[in-house]
Structures are given as C-alpha cells and as structure tokens.
Amino acid sequence: MPAAVVDARSAHAAGVQRLVESYLAVPATAPIRLAKRTSNLFRTRTKARAPGLDTSGLTAVISVDVEARTADVAGMCTYEDLVAATLRHGLAPLVVPQLKSITLGGAVTGLGIESTSFRNGLPHESVLEMDILTGAGEVLTASRTENSELYRAFPNSYGTLGYAVRLRIELESVQPVVALTHLRFHSLVDLVAAMDRIMVTGSLDGVAVDYLDGVVFGADESYLCVGRKTSAPGPVSDYTGQQIYYRSIRHEHGATVDRLTTHDYLWRWDTDWFWCSEAFGAQHPLIRRIWPRRYRRSSTYGKLMRIEQRFHLGDRIEKLHGRPPRERVVQDVEVPVGRCAEFLEWFLNNVPIEPIWLCPLQLKGDDRWPLYPIRPQQGYVNVGFWSTVPVGRAEGETNRLIERTVGELDGHKSLYSDSYYSRREFEDRYGGEAYRAAKKRYDPGSRLLDLYSKAVQRR
C-alpha cells in the first residue's frame, strides 16, 4: 500500500477518534452539532450556543482506487476537493452536486442532485458502505448487508441518526470536455416531453446523453441543456470570468452549442450561485471586473446572504421604499415527470420567481429509501427556485402553498430549507415508522434532534 494512503488512513483514524472523544465529552443535556465552516442549509435556525464537534481530520479524500473506480472519502470532504482528487485519474463521482462547498456526507444525509441524476440517481445510491458516528456514540459500518436499516434510513435524515465519517463511493469515467447543446422550447409541455424521451431512451437523435438539465425563464421560453462527454480537441468557454453561464443558454430559436472542460462544467453553476449572485451586484459588468475571481463562488454569496438575514437588510430596504417585507422561497421539489408541466404552469401563475432550474431524476436501482420515498422506475423532475416574494397574510404563506401543491401532485420537497408541515403530515411523507425504528435503535438516548424538530420546528 502506498505510503501516502497509509498516512491518509492514519490521519483519518485520528480524526475519527477526536470526533468521538468530543462527542462523548458533551453533557447529556447539551445540544450536539458539527463544527462546520460552511453550510448549505437555508432553514431559519436558532443561533448555536454550544461548540461544535471536532471535525478536524475528517475533510480529506482518503484514497482513490482507480482500477475499482471507488474512493474512500471523509464525511466532511467537500465535493470541490473530491472532484479535484478524482479528475486527475479521469474519474468523477456518479453525481456531483452543483456547489463546491457541499460535503459528501452532507449530500448523502441531506440529498443532492445534478445533471447525471437522470441516469445515476442520487448521491446516496453510489455509496457502497459508510462509517457513521451514531447517536449512541458508536462508529458503525453501514451497507446494504451490514446495519442495513441504518444504511437505508440515513439518506434524508439530516444528521439526526448520526454523522458519516467515511464513505466508500462508486466513481465513473469522464472525458476532458463536455459538449453542450442548448435546445429552446416555446412550450413547457414540449420541453417536458422531450426531457421524458431522453430519460427513457438515454439519448437524443440516437446519440447517448451523459448530462441533462434545464432552465425555465418563462412559459414561452425554456431550455434543455444536453451534455455529452468528449475528448475531441477544440476551444472551450470560460464562465468564471466576465461571461455568465446561465445567460449563455438563451437564444431565439432552435439549438446552440458550447463546450466546457469537465471541471468547469461540473462547477458551471457555482460561480454565480446559479443566477442568485445578481442580488449582490456580482453580475453588473463594472462590479464584476473588480470582484476578485476567488470570491466569485457560492460560498461567498452564502456568507453575504447570512449577513443580510442577520441584520434584516433586505426588509429594511423594502421599508425605506414603502414596500412590505419579503418571504424567502428557497426550495427544491421533485414532481413526477408526468405532472411536471402542470406544476410549472401553476408555479408561473402563482409564484413570481424566475428563472427556475429543472433536473430530471430517476433512481439508479430498485432500492427503496424510506425517508425520501420516491418510487423506483419512476421519472421525476427536480424543480429548483430560490428567491423572495412579498409576505402574505400568514407566516410562510407562499411556502405553505407550494408544499400543498407539491403534495397534491404526488411529489416531495427537500428539507434543506424552511418547512411548515404538521407532524402527522411530515411523518406520512418522510418515512415516519421506519425513521422511528432507526432512531430507537441507533440513537436510543435521543442525543440528536429528531427529524421533524430539526426540519420544521427549529426556527
């Protein structure tokens, strides 16, 4: 075994020991949380008062097995670091969520998605095994055959059953470049039908499709972004400088083509936080020229957003202009592909937010994941929308309306942002019985928050 791998494993083992010791040192009545530099959660949360668990030593790629196409990865390793380690071998995780600061453990316990999800499903499906620090203070290995109840309940548990300290994941081969075709649609029905055909056949015009997502700018302007792996030489675009990726998609009719290095394609949305960097002026040509490139990334905008929320700067500005405060609507929902056009039409007529991101999804295998029970062999579309709207008459009025509509369409909502479900409705939607059984077994002392308290009540 190479010395570097031995050293990495030793460092990881020491990191796990520090984590366990810091966990056991927390008084039984004190709250438990991880010490994290960044967060991609958008829930309204009470301010943390207790120090976080020691996660030093749990942020690295432990090893990459090129022949087996697997990687052993610490739970707090970011996808930015993971991708950097695998791309040098011509490999990548089966699903790489859009933002560099998302951690592998976070994507598995909190779900993640990207443009390979129509063929590779969700990140937790590529996990072969993982070591989890449970609520009981034990580090257990979970897989399809070992502690399988924990393995299946962990996705979408958001750290309420434990924390992943090591994950072994599958990798796939990539090429140096992604060749893109941006297809314009003037009808949402036509867009969804084309997306559905690609999901079923895995191809467009008889050519295999490797990456697939879309953007809706309005009822009569939407796009599918179809990507294919290629090693063909030629120029590539750069959207980390003055040019902005999502604006490059738009055109009047038919299709346009583009090329990005695989690295830049995987992070195409991070530079401008999809399109949300506009709220901070980062898309204005003059500001963009002086905005340092190293700070042109989602983690920077996330920090600015948290400052805005802390001091309610947006609401103060609205008040100065004689306008009401605004409700944050930052959500990702999954609806069956057959109901997607219906949902999009409803959304555009009722919620004043554009653009909207679309990402088709189908579980890779036949496994069922009780805390996020989307059905195998069923096509879904992730619909992402991230902005604010004027406040209504009741708290979270627009978010509640969206929750209700998604439920009526047999869809599901991710739990990284504000939720308003009753406990009974929440348990019906997010595997209540299976979750309670796993909670009783792996966190018998309730050292960790329960999922409903963390996802809905903690505000």
What span, in angstroms and rounded, lies between the C-alpha atoms of 258 and 236? Answer: 7
What span, in angstroms and rounded, lies between the C-alpha atoms of 250 and 222? Answer: 9
Buried b (16+ CB within 10 A) or exposed e, 345-375: ebbbeebebbbbbbbbbbbbeeeebbbbebe
> Is 397:325 a contact under the CB 8 Å cutoff?
no
- What's the pLDDT tens digit per position in 83-115? 999 999 999 999 999 999 999 999 999 989 999
> What pLDDT is stored for residue 359 in this prediction?
98
258 SS3 class: strand
> What pLDDT is stored for residue 165 in this prediction?
97
Instruction: Decide if 395 is inside a domain.
Output: no
Domain that holds residue 64: 3-174
> What pLDDT is stored for residue 318 in this prediction?
84
> What pLDDT is stored for residue 426 in this prediction?
96
The number of domains in the chain is 1
Q: Kindly list the distances between the CA atom of residue 345 and the CA atoms of 59, 213, 348, in Å, as whole numbers in the listed order.
A: 42, 18, 5
Q: Which of 368, 373, 303 is nearest to 38 (CA)?
A: 303
Tokens of 34: 């991880």
Q: Kindly list the distances between the CA atom of residue 7 and the CA atoms of 61, 132, 344, 357, in Å, as whole numbers in the listed order.
A: 12, 21, 51, 42
CATH code of the domain in which 167 resides: 3.30.465.10
> What pLDDT is stored for residue 2 in this prediction?
74
Instruction: Decide if 110 is inside a domain.
Output: yes
Q: Kindly list the distances between the CA atom of residue 96 and the CA atoms of 33, 170, 171, 269, 336, in Å, as whole numbers in the listed order.
A: 25, 12, 11, 12, 22
Instruction: Decide if 72 is inside a domain.
Output: yes
Strand partners, 177: 230, 261
Q: Which of 193, 160, 168, 165 is nearest to 76 (CA)?
A: 165
**DSSP of 79-108, one letter per residue?**
HHHHHHHHHTTTEEES---S-TT-BHHHHH
What span, in angstroms and rounded, lies between the C-alpha atoms of 158 and 42? Answer: 13
Within 26-141, where are the H helices?
79-87, 104-110, 117-120
> What pLDDT is stored for residue 1 in this prediction?
67
Tokens of 10: 């030793």
**DSSP of 338-387, one letter per residue?**
HHHHHHHHHHHHH-----EEEEEE--SSS---TTS-PPTT--EEEEEEEE
Tokens of 437: 């059984």
pTM value? 0.95
User: What letter represents residue 384's amino acid?
Assistant: G
What span, in angstroms and rounded, lies between the C-alpha atoms of 129 and 268? Answer: 30
Instruction: Decide if 397 is inside a domain.
Output: no
> What pLDDT is stored for residue 242 in this prediction?
96
For residue 310, the number of C-alpha atoms closer than 13 Å in the C-beta half-sphere is: 7
pLDDT in tens, the chain (459 residues): 677 777 899 999 999 999 999 999 999 888 888 877 667 777 765 555 567 899 999 999 999 999 999 999 999 999 999 999 999 999 999 999 999 999 999 999 998 999 999 999 999 999 999 999 999 999 999 999 999 999 999 999 999 999 999 999 999 999 999 999 999 999 999 999 999 999 999 999 999 999 999 999 999 999 999 999 999 999 999 999 999 999 999 999 999 999 999 999 999 999 999 999 999 999 999 999 999 999 999 999 999 999 988 888 888 888 888 888 999 999 999 999 999 999 999 999 999 999 999 999 999 988 889 999 899 999 999 999 999 999 998 899 999 999 999 999 999 999 999 999 999 999 999 999 999 999 999 999 999 999 999 999 864
- Which position has the token pair 């579309």? 381
What span, in angstroms and rounded, lies between the C-alpha atoms of 256 and 183? Answer: 7
279 SS3 class: helix
Strand partners, 73: 61, 167
> Is 66:25 a contact under the CB 8 Å cutoff?
no
Buried b (16+ CB within 10 A) or exposed e, 192-217: bebbbebbeeeebeeeebbbbbbbbe
> Is 5:381 a contact under the CB 8 Å cutoff?
no
Instruction: Decide if 54 is inside a domain.
Output: yes
Q: What is the Cα gyration radius of the chain? A: 22
Instruction: Decide if 35 is inside a domain.
Output: yes
- What's the pLDDT tens digit per position in 210-267? 999 999 999 999 999 999 999 999 999 999 999 999 999 999 999 999 999 999 999 9
Backbone CA torsion sign across 413, 359, 142, 367: positive
- What's the pLDDT tens digit per position in 144-167? 999 999 999 999 999 999 999 999
Residue 197's contacts (CB-CB under 8 Å, 6 or more residues apart) are none
Instruction: Decide if 458 is inside a domain.
Output: no
Q: Kindly list the distances between the CA atom of residue 157 and the CA atoms of 149, 415, 455, in Å, as whole numbers in the listed order.
A: 13, 9, 10
Backbone CA torsion sign across 170, 175, 177, 180: negative
Q: Which of 305, 316, 325, 318 is nearest to 397 (CA)?
A: 325
Instruction: Decide if 388 is inside a domain.
Output: no
**DSSP of 383-423, one letter per residue?**
EEEEEEEE--SSTTHHHHHHHHHHHHTT-EE-SSB-----H
Tokens of 368: 């069922």
